[in-house]
Amino acid sequence: MNRTLSESIHAGSSPGHIHSAKDWRFDDDDYKVAGGRIGIIDRWIESIFRFGRRKEKSRAAGGKPLLIAFFQAKWYIYASGVIFILAANLFQAYFPRVLGQFTDELQRGVLTASAIGHYSLLLVGIGIIYALLGGIGQFHIMYVGRIFEYFARKRLFHHFTVLGERFYAKRGVGNLLSYVMNDITSVRESISMGINQTTNTTLLMITAVTAMLASDIPFYLIGVCVLPVLLIPYIVVRFGPVIRERSLAVQDALGTMTESAEEQFAGIRVTKKFAVEPIMIRKFSETVDRIRDRQVKLVRVSSIFQALIPFLGALSLIITLAFGGYLAMNGTITLGNFVALTLYIRMMITPLQQIGNVINTMQRSRASLARLNNLFGERADISELEHAVEKDLTKEPLVVDHLSFAYPGTDREVLRDISFTLKPGRTLGIVGRTGSGKTTLIKLLLRIYDAAPGTVRAGDTDLRELTLSCLRDSIAYVPQDGFLFSTTIRDNISFHNREAEFGTVEHAARTAQIAGSIPSFADGYETKLGERGVTMSGGQRQRTSLARGLMKDAPVLILDDSVSAVDAVTEKRIIEAVREERAGKTTIIIAHRISALKHAGEIIVLDQGRIAQRGTHEELLAEPGIYAELHAIQEEGSRDGTGD
């Protein structure tokens, strides 16, 4: 994945933060993308977003956790939802009182037909108003939850694109997908459904207790009936941390399983060719078993937690029926007050039966939120200096001056005292045995890693002093693996400029010697490739990747063993076409086969991180050394292959 991202990152991207409220600003285009296009309620929401946008103040990017920044940007949506839910519960709290008055009049025998009609209309009106206000309030909160999910996934992917190769070297694709799919969804559920039901339950209980206190029901009776409910905060404090800890373990196990599944799917062809399906099944089953074990531990605690809260609610209702019924039979309270008290307690029990599941969900989401905040805490290894400049690399030589380099976290130097100057318009060849440091050198030129100050320059300017957009827009890099995206052949070739004319795309394909193979595909250039271009052969993928690099037409072209999968005849045609296409432009060719770079103006031979030899093809053949040995071996292999 690190290779994919390094190819697909827009060179000028700066590290993205979603830790400030301004990063969550919701503009008109985003509103349309999010689906707010038609409907009265959508227009209403749009007006609220516009109001909030006028109220938002720009804040500097800081280290604020994910949800704090989001709430600071969208608090007004939540506030409007809470206000509507509060208003709905105030009306609902009036329902038991009306029914209690109806019961008292019925008991005294003073209920008339007109009174029955009055109470019926009043109860219907309360129900309609409660449904409308509660529905609007829930819509606001659920709506903004989806907005969070929409923005969070966009920001998360942007954050992925600015992280460096060291980050991806430690994490698999499946683990990263778990952040995008599982963790963000979990947090969204807590800030939409969780907050929605928690707000509704809290406000309903407050309004119900307030209404009871404002009625003729004795205070001591209210206190005894709601006493079991007061134990809920203790239970939450007791079980919450345990649920959160076990939920985090489950999320980590899910990430590991997703990573294992992605690896198994990517290597399914190798698995079948080696007939090791049982081994792969056993390996994947281990990750599934780990999830099962951790989920069982979580379920043990969460089940007890979710059972206790409804039990306390039911206990309150039992006390209400027993104690309240006893007082009503003795005449201490009226039958209407008893009915009203029973309904108030019943009103509180209904959301309490759900609040256990909600709190359980929110505790799990806290584990996901912790994972996301830790991820957003990761910073890019490569950053752009505040006063970075731009330079025209068509006019500047690339200078490597006494460069030595060791990968972060290791002491072993991969490159030692490397020096050379590549003038504009020249071609440099780099050859060496596997592990000699060729690709590492290119990574330093691309600033995938940073070299020591002053050791890699564009003219007199350190590469670190150039803007990332200037550096990476000026270099076209074609890697050996020839990664292709799951889109059309044309889109893969025109990756740098999707608006390019077809003639330009076709010219790049001809130069890369892939144009002759494209008509064999069903839809030609519009053929959609399978994942990672699996519908193409290795050589076709390499040539399509080469066409993509040539299409960029950058001042500097780097070919990193980019023709290793093609035959000698095709390689010769490609090299000749590239030489003609790149005449007067700077080119760096890394290869194991000497035939691919023998035309270079200068060739350097790397061995164990050092420059062992340098010179032209003829000069290097004339002196004993690695180059002459490689040439002799390859020439002998070539003669054997042709039967000479």
**Lowest-confidence segment of 190-199, 453-462, 488-497, 614-623 by average pLDDT:** 190-199
Q: What domain count does the chain have?
A: 3
324: domain CATH number?
1.20.1560.10
CB proximity list for 187: less than 8 A, separation 6 or greater: 66, 67, 148, 152, 365, 368, 369, 372
- 394 and 334, same structural domain? no
- 576 and 542, same structural domain? no
Q: What DSSP string runs through 399-445?
A: EEEEEEEE-TT--SEEEEEEEEEE-TT-EEEEEESTTSSHHHHHHHH
- 395 and 360, same structural domain? no
**Mean pLDDT confidence for 441-460:** 89
- 357 and 273, same structural domain? yes
Sign of torsion, CA 196 198 204 210? negative
CA angle 459, 463, 466 (to 5 degrees): 95
pLDDT tens by residue, 389-437:
888 888 889 999 999 999 887 888 999 999 999 999 999 999 988 888 8
Check: CB of residue 295 under 8 Å from CB of residue 250: yes
**CA–CA distance, 514 with 352 (Å, rounded to integer):** 66
Q: Using alpha carbons, list the distances in angstroms from residue 61 to 15, 18, 20, 21, 175.
A: 11, 8, 5, 8, 27
pLDDT tens by residue, 554-571:
899 999 888 887 888 888
Helix ranges (H only) for 587-625 are 617-622
Please identify, among 553, 568, 600, the residue that sits at the C-terminal boundary of a domain. Answer: 553
Which residues constitute the domain of residue 547?
Answer: 481-553
- Nearest residue to 517 via CA among 487, 486, 499, 493: 493
First to last CA, the chain: 43
**Domain-embedded: residue 39:** yes
- 584 and 543, same structural domain? no
Contacts 24+ apart (CB under 8 A), 284-292: 284/257, 284/260, 287/253, 287/256, 287/257, 287/260, 288/257, 290/253, 290/256, 290/257, 291/250, 291/253, 291/254, 291/257
- 415 and 292, same structural domain? no
Query: Max alpha carbon distance in the chain (Å)?
Result: 122
**Domain-embedded: residue 149:** yes
Check: CB of residue 401 under 8 Å from CB of residue 457: yes
**CA–CA distance, 76 with 51 (Å, rounded to integer):** 9
- Residue 557 pairs in a beta bridge with 476, 587
pLDDT tens by residue, 604-632:
999 889 999 999 999 999 888 888 888 88
- 629 and 493, same structural domain? no
**Domain-embedded: residue 1:** no
Q: Between 222 and 107, where is the model more confident?
A: 222
- 514 and 636, same structural domain? no
- 152 and 66, same structural domain? yes
- 499 and 614, same structural domain? no
**Domain-embedded: residue 2:** no
Please identify, among 536, 553, 570, the residue that sits at the C-terminal boundary of a domain. Answer: 553
**Domain-embedded: residue 462:** yes
Percent of the chain's residues with pLDDT above 70: 86
593: domain CATH number?
3.40.50.300
Please identify, among 498, 529, 553, the residue that sits at the C-terminal boundary of a domain. Answer: 553
- 22 and 140, same structural domain? yes
The confidence band for 335, taking pLDDT boundaries of 50, 70 and 90, is: confident
**Domain-embedded: residue 5:** no
The confidence band for 43, taking pLDDT boundaries of 50, 70 and 90, is: very low
**CA–CA distance, 304 with 302 (Å, rounded to integer):** 5
**Residue 538: pLDDT over 60:** yes
Check: CB of residue 396 under 8 Å from CB of residue 404: no
Angle, helices 335-376 vs 232-266, to 10°: value is 40
- 461 and 354, same structural domain? no
Angle, helices 113-162 vs 40-55, to 10°: value is 60
Q: What is the pTM of this model?
A: 0.65
**Domain-embedded: residue 381:** no
**Domain-embedded: residue 4:** no
How many Cα atoms occupy the beta-carbon half-sphere of 580 within 13 Å? 10
**CA–CA distance, 552 with 13 (Å, rounded to integer):** 18
Hey, is 28 helix, strand or coil? Answer: helix
What are the tokens at 180?
């995008």
Sign of torsion, CA 97 102 108 110? positive
Check: CB of residue 382 under 8 Å from CB of residue 447: yes
* Whole-number pLDDT of residue 642: 47
